[in-house]
Structure 1
Amino acid sequence: MQIIISNRSKEPIYEQITNQIKSSILAGDLHEGMALPSIRQLAKDLQISVITTKRAYEELEKAGFTYSIVGKGSFVAEQNLEVIKERKFKAVEDQLSAVIANSRELGLTLDDLQQLLTTLYEE
């Protein structure tokens, strides 16, 4: 498992870790039951605080991506990919609704909005 931390990112380090592990699980790179590196080992490998790694693992467990067994470590939980995809689709839908509302307030046309979306999507 490879995790890349960017000090230039506006995203906190624990979120970078969480998002990369989630992406690996959703992409099928990490399978159900696979062990994650220990909190201490990951902190050492990434040269970050154990507290930061612990927070990332707690967030993953809270979101249902992993589970932990005392004395054994953290493992990838069984995933219902359709439910996860549906949640993500709903989140995108909600965000787009907010974008549309803001665009209307600014007087942007649908063509302006589509052009902006196309430009951002292709970056």
Structure 2
Amino acid sequence: MDIIISNSGGVPIYDQITRQMKGLILRGELAEGEALPSMRLLAKELRISVITTKRAYEELEREGFITTVPGKGCFVAPRNLELVREETLRRVEEHLSQAVDIARTGGITLAELTETLHLLYGEDEHE
């Protein structure tokens, strides 16, 4: 499992782990039922505190991405399609919000932004 931690940027380490693991699960790179590294092993591999990995795993479990089996470890939870869709929609909204801010700053109208989105989305439909 490739998780890259950045000490710059202001994003807490546990949040970086959580986001990257969600991405791996949503893209199917971590399959349903797949065992995750133990919190201690992940902490050792990333050279961070076990408390940080524990917080990331707790967040992932709270959001339904992983399940914990006492004495056995943490596993990728069965895929909840609504959860996957909601997470994807949240990420899209985050990126679109940034695009809107950039457009407003650059004097781009809503009509121009909408046209650009239609063009970009249309290109992806034909690929």
TM-score of the alignment, normalized to the shorter chain, above 0.5:
yes
Sequence identity of aligned pairs in percent? Answer: 59
Distance 1:87 1:40, change over 3 A: closer
Q: Displacement of 1:86 after TM fit?
A: 3.9
In structure 1, the gaps of 5 or more residues are 118-123
1:14-58 CA-to-partner distances (Å, cap 9, x unmatched) read: 000000000000001000110000000000000000000000000
Question: Residues of 2 paired with 1:112 and 1:10: CA distance?
Answer: 33
Give RMSD over aligned pairs: 3.2
Residue type at the aligned position of 1:34: E
- Counterpart CA distance in 2 for 1:16 and 1:90 is 16
Aligned mates of 1:48, 1:94 — CA distance in 2: 28
CA contact (8 A) 1:26 1:81 kept: no
Q: Which residue does the alignment assign to 1:26?
A: 26
Q: Is 1:89 aligned to 2:89, yes or no? A: yes
TM-score (norm 2): 0.72
Question: Scaled by the length of structure 1, what TM-score is found?
Answer: 0.74
1:11 aligns with 2:11: yes
**1:42 maps to which residue?**
42
